[in-house]
Amino acid sequence: MSETPDNAVHAVRTYIEQHRDAFLGDLADWLRIPSVSARPDRAGDVRRSAEWLAAKLTETGFTAVEVWETAGAPAVFAEWPSGDPDAPTVLVYGHHDVQPAAREDGWHTDPFEPTVVDGRMYARGAADDKGQVFFHTLGVRAHLAATGRTAPAVNLKLLIEGEEESGSPHFRELVEAHADRLAADAVIVSDTGMWSETTPTVCT
């Protein structure tokens, strides 16, 4: 007998809660990388951020993970086919670079040393956009655990750029160069606002 939708949702939430601490620990490690694309002296950190993400996506189970070079900062592409010939293809967009940040900007703590206060993690990039990007890795693992699948129900692709906070100067060129690899039935932009912390939000 197949699981009911309520049971499946419960299984996903249970998995997320059970793996919450490890997920937050990994996210904190990523947030410590000051991947400020607008500062040339941080170019090495932006690359380190891309390489960190690529390694974690490989660890998650994505079957193809590549660091894509641009004339500026590198992007990360990952792909995980469903195995179902009728499955749609979903492309998730996000970015791994962040805006500049310093204590004198008004931060109460070091912006590149994640700090948890009242259940919230504070760090540059926690909400724009590393937190959202990285949550997809936990989501897909929860989906597999809840369903018993060995691959996602959709053909899943991620494109995580490294220059969004600098105006994406090379993004169009990157997309055009890899248009065949990026073909999808739907695109999810994982870098938008939320209505409230208790309300899932979809912007169309």
Catalytic residues: 97, 164
Q: What tokens does 72 get?
A: 């500026």
* Residue 162 near residue 75, CB atoms below 8 Å: yes
Query: How many Å apart are CA 124 and CA 98, to the nearest integer?
Result: 7
* Residue 157 near residue 64, CB atoms below 8 Å: no
For the beta sheet containing 155-161, the strands, ordered from the edge strand earlier in sequence to the opposite edge, are 64-68, 75-80, 155-161, 89-95, 186-189
- Report which of 87, 97, 86 is spatially closest to residue 31, judged by C-alpha positions: 97
In the chain, DSSP assigns E strands to: 64-68, 75-80, 89-95, 115-117, 120-122, 155-161, 186-189
